[in-house]
Chain A
């Protein structure tokens, strides 16, 4: 048990570190995306700023900061200013309950690699991301622009529809592991099936179906291709953020990529065994390897995100709704019933 001053100092350091790492990760996910999509489309992507264009995110950041911040005269100012803040605050808050690894020991104090361990951690993430819809919806409305309004409407309808599938796909995992705490869910996945296959939730019963539903719903929740209708460039200029410039636009951009990273972390924790993986070597390596496995799994998930973006065209709006309600939703319910039956059968044996 830590004493109060040390607890506060440790928490502040952890919060600062996590936000720093998250924002760096956001910047370099953008770089990765431009680079990977570039190579997939047979071009180079950013190359000029630094080796392999590695300093490009930095240059972009400076550009966002020094550009003129335009506010069109016809907008509803209070909400126009508040909307990007809501989006970015919700995106950054949801990372606070994500654990990155086991507890590490520094100067004799055992410190968990997580800002706060709430025993309903998963619900906190879902709650905070569901509030994030307001950022997009209000941005669309307060811009007082038809394209923005259409983008905002599409975003709120799409996010509510796919939130249900997202939630239902996670219930199967919750039934299997019997806890809302992300840490306990990961710990329930340690060990192996038949001695060699890692005991990840994705390999348990029908959970790969749940993983598929989660993947689709997560793409839709984060407004990514093939579900990027709220900002469809070819029809809506830029959708809900048409009227935004400079740092306010950058906030939406940051929120989108931070949400992507949160979704990837959640997928890793719930389906891919979190920080579980082979651990060996000297004590220092042993304490760092779990974090490495965690980051590697998140990276793979993000790479698939980008890969899908470079491959698929955009859905039409009616296809989007039909896909969500008539295909994903029944699939998620079927998986839920099946998982419940399997778990009940196993516990009755």
Chain B
């Protein structure tokens, strides 16, 4: 009972954070709303019984990814967003689009009754289960993903590298 109430409350917080993320005009406020979304998602995982996933959600998304977002916003000192003509178009087309998409997903899920459901607190989410799944059952997809991430990192390094300036003497490493 308590689980269900908490689940609904944090679900509502999650949705409210997501809506606030779109409504805010300042990048920092939007980013902080996204932190709220991530954190309440972590609580939802916790209530489903997936403690490990919940902890990783907080460490990776709230603690690292979003800190980098905020770091970049601080570094660029991004100001308030301004409304343009395009934002009106987005408002008129976007809201019906989101509604249609949501209805489509809900309808598809309801049609397929064999998707199954998990009672609260019963998701097999212990570190051991996840480790076995990742490094035994899904070893190849896991390794392919890690190669993909490596490629992305190398791409970022190549893009971030400045062109060599031959006139300046090379900086001395100390």
The stretch among A121-129, A244-252, A259-267 that forms the contact with chain B is A121-129
Cβ–Cβ contact B58 & A137, under 8 A: no
Contact flag A127-B75 (CB < 8 Å), given A79-B28, A118-B51, A119-B51: no
B10-52 CB mask vs A (1 if < 8 Å, else 0) is 0000000000000000001000000100010000000000011
Cβ–Cβ contact B74 & A149, under 8 A: yes
Chain B hits for A120, CB < 8 A: 51-52, 55, 127
Cβ–Cβ contact B55 & A137, under 8 A: no
A99 adjacent to chain B (CB < 8 Å) = no
Cβ–Cβ contact B63 & A163, under 8 A: yes
Cβ–Cβ contact B59 & A127, under 8 A: yes
B54-72 CB mask vs A (1 if < 8 Å, else 0) is 0110110011100110110
- The residue in B39, B64, B174 that gathers the most chain A C-beta atoms within 10 A of its C-beta is B64
Where the two chains meet, the residues of A that have a C-beta atom closer than 8 Å to any C-beta of B are 79, 118-120, 123-124, 126-128, 130-131, 133-134, 137-138, 140-141, 149, 152-153, 156-157, 159-160, 163, 167, 180, 319
Contact flag A137-B51 (CB < 8 Å), given A79-B28, A131-B62, A153-B74: no
Chain B hits for A79, CB < 8 A: 28
From A119, A127, A157, give the contact of B63 (CB < 8 A): A127
Cβ–Cβ contact B67 & A141, under 8 A: no
Chain B hits for A130, CB < 8 A: 58-59, 62-64, 67
Contact flag A153-B75 (CB < 8 Å), given A134-B35, A163-B63: yes
Chain B hits for A127, CB < 8 A: 55, 58-59, 62-63
Contact flag A141-B74 (CB < 8 Å), given A127-B63, A156-B67: yes
Chain B hits for A128, CB < 8 A: 58
Q: Which 4 A-B pairs have the closest CB atoms?
A: A130-B63, A123-B55, A127-B58, A156-B71
CB distance from B122 to the nearest CB of A (A): 16
27 contacts between A and B (CB under 8 A): A118-B51, A119-B51, A119-B126, A120-B55, A123-B51, A123-B56, A127-B55, A127-B59, A128-B58, A130-B58, A131-B58, A131-B63, A133-B63, A133-B67, A137-B71, A137-B74, A140-B74, A141-B28, A141-B70, A141-B74, A149-B77, A156-B67, A156-B70, A160-B64, A160-B68, A167-B59, A319-B174
